[in-house]
């Protein structure tokens, strides 16, 4: 019988991991997406879309498919689904592994102001009008309506609906990855004074951070949320090795 694995996705790594596992004859894989993006990148693996209905809903789903393993490969700021995944694993006894992409480290020349959340980022922009690049998902930008004095550049995969309730905002529709040279051009073209970013980690969205450093631009960096402590790997290869270990019969792995 193939091993049934559910991957909670929504990241580049989840897509890559799903591709690797789906190619294995001993694995029966399902990738789960929240359904936030209107046209997600086409996936060559069986995919389901939409919430489960909290930790209990996810637990019921895991039992329904007789899952052997749950992999949380969601974005580091998707804390609710990671909490639900840990709780569902506890409720069902299904083993869980997480792919936890390391955050970016501050480098010499970086001008980061670290804050706890988007609302504090809006405050950290200050009272004087600035030109702000909001490099956040469209779900996170509503709180900047409280700081309507600034001129915003807002980049998102799908249109921001309803539009942000501030007088000055430019919208840019684009999907990463974004390289440093393009980000540098964008920052210069829009006369950006400050960027608001999550500490997402990885290469795909690091270009703006490197470009900000080179141009001496401030970055208001939203700190990572605390995620549940579950066995985790920083990269795909390490996680695949953990998957192998987890799926091996208990007698064979000697635990
Ligand atoms: P969240 O706040 O942690 O989760 C909110 C709810 O969305 C969850 O309770 C769950 O609904 C549903 N959900 C989230 N991820 C799911 C998945 N992979 N499959 C099925 N349902 C899921 O998540 P979020 O921050 O809104 O992020 C949503 C998705 O976008 C995640 O999959 C994440 O990997 C991806 N993403 C997020 C960010 C970010 O900055 N937050 C950035 C890039 C990609 P139920 O409780 O009903 O099950």
Q: Which of 34, 67, 82, 174 to mutate to test the pocket of ligand 1 (most atoms within 8 A of CB)?
A: 34
Rounded distance from Cα 102 to ligand 1 centre (Å): 19
Does the residue 215 lie in any domain? Answer: yes
Cβ–ligand 1 distance for 137 under 6 Å, the answer yes
Q: Which atom of ligand 1 is nearest to the CA of 139?
A: 26
Q: How far apart are CA 201 and CA 75, in angstroms?
A: 10
Q: Whose CA is nearest to atom 15 of ligand 1?
A: 34
Does the residue 107 lie in any domain? Answer: no
Q: Whose CA is nearest to atom 11 of ligand 1?
A: 51
Cβ–ligand 1 distance for 141 under 6 Å, the answer no
CATH number at residue 154: 3.40.50.2000
Q: Whose CA is nearest to atom 39 of ligand 1?
A: 77
Tens digits of per-residue pLDDT, 173-210? Answer: 999 999 999 999 999 999 999 999 999 999 999 999 99
> Whose CA is closest to 208, among 118, 104, 69?
104
**174 and 216 inside one domain:** yes
Does the residue 83 lie in any domain? Answer: yes
Does the residue 49 lie in any domain? Answer: yes
Does the residue 55 lie in any domain? Answer: yes
Please give the share of the chain, as a percent, with pLDDT higher than 90: 90
Residue 42 is predicted with a pLDDT of 72
**118 and 211 inside one domain:** yes
Cβ–ligand 1 distance for 22 under 6 Å, the answer no
Q: Whose CA is nearest to atom 12 of ligand 1?
A: 51
Collapsing DSSP states into helix, strand and coil, what is residue 129? coil
Rounded distance from Cα 51 to ligand 1 centre (Å): 8
Q: Which atom of ligand 1 is nearest to the CA of 74?
A: 34
Does the residue 184 lie in any domain? Answer: yes
Rounded distance from Cα 160 to ligand 1 centre (Å): 18
Cβ–ligand 1 distance for 74 under 6 Å, the answer yes
pTM of the predicted model, to two decimals?
0.94
Q: How far apart are CA 36 and CA 158, in angstroms?
A: 9
Q: Which domain holds residue 118?
A: 112-222
**166 and 98 inside one domain:** no
> Whose CA is closest to 172, among 157, 151, 189?
157
In this prediction, residue 253 has a pLDDT band, given cuts at 50, 70 and 90, of low
> Whose CA is closest to 17, among 81, 78, 97?
97
Tens digits of per-residue pLDDT, 9-47? Answer: 999 999 999 999 999 999 999 999 999 887 777 778 999
Tens digits of per-residue pLDDT, 41-78? Answer: 777 899 999 999 999 999 999 999 999 999 999 999 99
Dihedral sign (CA 45, 176, 35, 83): positive
Structural domains counted in the chain: 2
**200 and 241 inside one domain:** no
Does the residue 39 lie in any domain? Answer: yes
CATH number at residue 12: 3.40.50.720
Cβ–ligand 1 distance for 51 under 6 Å, the answer yes
């Amino acid at each position: 019988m193939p091993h049934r694995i559910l991957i909670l996705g929504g990241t580049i790594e989840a897509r890559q991991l799903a591709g690797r596992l789906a190619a294995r004859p001993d694995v029966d894989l399902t990738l789960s997406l929240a359904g936030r993006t209107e046209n997600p990148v086409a996936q060559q693996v069986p995919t389901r879309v939409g919430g489960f209905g909290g930790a209990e809903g996810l637990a019921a789903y895991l039992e329904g498919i007789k899952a052997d393993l749950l992999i949380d490969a969601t974005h580091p700021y998707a804390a609710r689904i990671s909490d639900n995944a840990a709780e569902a694993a506890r409720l069902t006894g299904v083993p869980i592994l997480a792919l936890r992409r390391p955050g970016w480290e501050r480098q010499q020349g970086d001008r980061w102001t670290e804050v706890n959340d988007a609302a504090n980022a809006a405050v950290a922009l200050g009272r004087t009008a600035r030109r702000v690049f909001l490099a956040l998902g469209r779900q996170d930008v509503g709180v900047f309506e409280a700081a309507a004095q600034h001129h915003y550049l807002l980049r998102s995969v799908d249109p921001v609906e309803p539009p942000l309730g501030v007088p000055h905002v430019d919208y840019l529709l684009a999907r990463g990855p974004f390289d440093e040279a393009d980000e540098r051009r964008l920052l210069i073209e829009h006369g950006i004074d400050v960027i608001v970013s999550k500490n997402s980690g990885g290469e795909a969205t690091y270009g703006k951070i490197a470009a900000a450093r080179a141009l001496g631009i401030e970055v208001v960096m939203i700190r990572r949320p605390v995620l549940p402590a579950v066995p985790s790997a920083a990269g795909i290869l390490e996680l695949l090795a953990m998957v192998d270990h987890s799926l091996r019969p208990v007698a064979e792995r000697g635990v």
